[in-house]
Amino acid sequence: PTPGEYEAELTTISTLGCSNTIKKQIFIFPNVTVTPLTPYNENFETSSGGWLPNGTTGGVPKLYSWRHRNTSGVKMPSNNSSKAWIAKIADSTAYMNNEQSYVESPCFDISTLQRPMLQLRIFYDTDQGGDGAVVQVSKDDGLTWSILG
């Protein structure tokens, strides 16, 4: 399947005819190999880049304001891309209260890099002292995460 969010369903039926069904959301991410000769560069102009949003708001799962959208009406330098990942409520300049959300990147194979580096263009307009962002990395397919830096 193509990268994205899917609902997987497993149904088992016993020899006596009893059945049980389990449904679970799964995420399939692109795999990107980064080498000294093939760096990763994404400006999000033509697509979401294989990045996927997720999170909660007020304890409600799958409720988040992240969208891949036009940057018009967003406080950011005008010389940047016309599209980006933006956390804001549609037709508003705000994001949701008590939102704990994120945008997850493709899976990167950086095993050939001696000194991997990360460069991002991040613009934010948040409540000072209460909101913020971090970059996290996982080496075990998302089972555990560590803050980068």
Question: Residue 74 carries which DSSP code?
Answer: S
Dig out the tokens for 33 from the structure. Answer: 């190999």
What's the predicted TM-score (pTM) here? Answer: 0.81
Q: What residue type is 83 in one-letter code?
A: K
In this predicted structure, what is the pLDDT of residue 75?
76
Other Cβ atoms closer than 10 A to 14: 8
Tell me the one-letter amino acid at 134: V
Mean predicted lDDT score pLDDT of the chain: 88
Read off the pLDDT of each residue in 89-95 and give the average, rounded to a whole number. Answer: 69
In 3D space, the residue among 107, 91, 94, 125 whose CA is nearest the CA of residue 52 turns out to be 107
The Cα 57–Cα 73 span in angstroms is 23
**Quick check: 101 and 65 in contact, CB under 8 A?**
yes
Query: Would you state the pLDDT for residue 79?
Result: 67
In the structure, what pLDDT confidence band is assigned to residue 92 with cuts at 50, 70 and 90?
Answer: low
Confidence of residue 107 (pLDDT cuts 50, 70, 90): very high
Q: State the pLDDT at residue 125.
A: 77
Q: Dihedral angle at the C-alpha atoms of 4, 82, 92, 64, nearest 10 degrees?
A: 20
